[in-house]
Amino acid sequence: MTFPLIGPEQDFALWAILIAAAAFGFWCERFPWGRKYSGVMWLMAMTFVLANLRIIPSTAPAYDAVWNYLVPIAIPLLLFEADLKRIVRESGPTLIAFIIGSASVVAGVFIGSAMLD
């Protein structure tokens, strides 16, 4: 097994790569081809490629910090920018199907647990 170029214990180098990947995502959004997908998709694609080329590790303590602290902060910040009225208006029948499906799953869980108890 070959080890990655930047090891999981090299925190500063790994954080530099992660910050550079985030900057790459923002940079891509400046161009028409980059706006086709979000900057987050470009960031994820870049880190996937770097991990598969064994430049960065696939697991590292720095990733735990990202998932434990940065992602929970980023989700509400992204939702603050969302236009919920537009989402409800444009989702139409898909939203209704999702609500019916979700309610059916919840009802199935209650019925199943009542039958097994």
pLDDT tens readout for residues 16-50 = 999 999 999 999 999 998 889 888 899 999 999 99
- For 101, phi then psi, to 5°, come to -65, -45
Match 């959004």 to its residue by tokens: 29
pLDDT at 76: 87
Give the residue with greater pLDDT, 108 vs 78: 108
Average pLDDT, the chain: 91
In terms of DSSP H, where are the helices of 29-83? 32-35, 39-52, 61-65, 71-80
Q: Where along the chain do its domains lie?
A: 1-82, 88-117
pLDDT digits (tens, 9 = 90+) for 54-103: 999 999 999 999 999 988 998 888 788 788 888 888 898 899 999 999 99
pLDDT at 1: 63
What is the phi-psi region of residue 59: left when phi exceeds 0, alpha when psi lies from -120 to 50, beta otherwise? Answer: beta
- For residue 12 the two structure tokens come to 């500063």
Confidence of residue 7 (pLDDT cuts 50, 70, 90): very high
DSSP state of 26: H
Q: What dihedral angle (degrees, nearest 10) is formed by the CA atoms of 20, 21, 22, 27?
A: 90
Q: How many CA atoms lie within 13 A of 64 on its CB side?
A: 6
As a whole-number percent, the residues of the chain with pLDDT over 90 amount to: 68
- For residue 66 the two structure tokens come to 């990202």
- For 75, phi then psi, to 5°, come to -60, -50
pLDDT higher than 90, residue 117: no
Give the residue with greater pLDDT, 57 vs 2: 57
